[in-house]
Amino acid sequence: MKVTTSAGTPAYLKNLNEWTLLERIIADGPLSRAELSRRTGLSKPTVSSAILQLLERGLVRETGRGDNSQGRKSTLLEFNRTCYYVIGIDLGATRIRMALGDLEGQICGFRQAPMPGEGVQGAELQALIIAEAEALLREQGVTWHSIQAATIGIPGIVDTASGKVSQLVSPLPGAEESLSRDQLNALLPVRVETENDVNLAALAEYSIRHSVDSGSLLYFSLGEGTGGGLVLNGAIFRGFRGAAGEFANMTLRGERVEEILSAGGLMRLAARFAGEAGEKEDRMLKASITSPERLIEQARGEDPAAIVVLDAYCDLLAEALTNVCAVIAPETVVLGGGIGCNGDVLLPRLESRLSGFASRPSLVVTRHQEKDVVLGAIQTAVQAALRNIRDAYQSLSPSNNMN
């Protein structure tokens, strides 16, 4: 092979300068041209020429004037966060949620639709993803040409190295192959990343609770199923082949945690108490156990029978948290999911049950509610989009110009 371009090629240096300035504006902006020259070491003429190209490409924009103490106020430059967009997708047990985000991770549009019932398989599921994504784009007046990347949160084990998926939760078992990264990249006209859904929720929560990439956060999802996501020093901890955080497979009192702490587990607990109660309490409980939402609402209203069930449920949840935290010792535990987001009834009970735990973490409830997974997906997609832009600028590097 012969290198046909050297590191000193004008086109390569021009791209390198533009990327250097863009990266600085993304990290530190808004900045003036003079300040960019000082921070990057590039000459003022080089900065002016490169900024002109970035403005023409729509990657940066001028925004007001700087606060100069003397002389003419300089024009500031900022990253154009709407030069491209990304998509975040949450394949939930009952709903598919999608969000359009700008390149600063802000949601620009959101939609959700019911997930088909049991047995939804390859072609049908893929068609649903495409249809919902295109509906979202139409609603926001955006085309695929403006999308740089997409991230899909999947309710199962995702091996991010291979892109393979396993152990999908209901109603998706059997759709593993159709949700592999290779198939999704062939399906959508943009770069697709895949990740476990609870990992993405944990990442979204971490980003608003930690100003620097330090510390640890555990996200415990309690809903139709159970799952966990762990973020250490700003990065998702995935474990071997992406299997970290599979709390559903832990055992508690001889049963799988998912059988005990999921929505179904809560209903079985309520039914057991109803069977053991007297006639009056039995009637009260049966009125409360039509759904987890109804039971929690009854407990919130100080219904004695519902409180008994919820107290027993929190005993089990506290025991599970004690076991997990004894090993991981996270600084923060975030509860999420359809059950976990009810912090007003869960947190006081859990705080009292964990009061004697030596390494007791801070217990909180997700701030994002049903959007936690799509927000984490958007954050991940933004990083992929920025890598795409960087790679485009590095396409003229010597290593990419050999024949």
Whole-angstrom distance, CA of residue 372 vs CA of residue 170: 20
Which whole number is the average pLDDT over 249-258? 90
pLDDT at residue 339 in the model? 93
Which whole number is the average pLDDT over 246-253? 88
- Is residue 23 within 8 A of residue 31, CB to CB? The reply is no
Which residues touch 161 (CB under 8 Å, ≥6 apart)? 241
Predicted confidence band at 248 (pLDDT cuts at 50, 70, 90)? confident
Average pLDDT, the chain: 86
pLDDT single digits (tens) 285-322: 565 567 899 999 989 988 888 899 999 999 999 999 99
Predicted confidence band at 50 (pLDDT cuts at 50, 70, 90)? very high
Whole-angstrom distance, CA of residue 252 vs CA of residue 248: 10
Whole-model pTM? 0.85
Which whole number is the average pLDDT over 65-86? 79
* Residue 131 Cα distances to 5, 137, 198, 366, angstroms: 44, 10, 24, 29
Question: Quick check: 396 pLDDT over 80?
Answer: no
pLDDT at residue 287 in the model? 57
Domains of the chain, CATH where assigned = 10-80 (1.10.10.10), 85-203+372-390 (3.30.420.40), 211-368 (3.30.420.40)
Residue 114 preceded by cis peptide, ω within 30: no
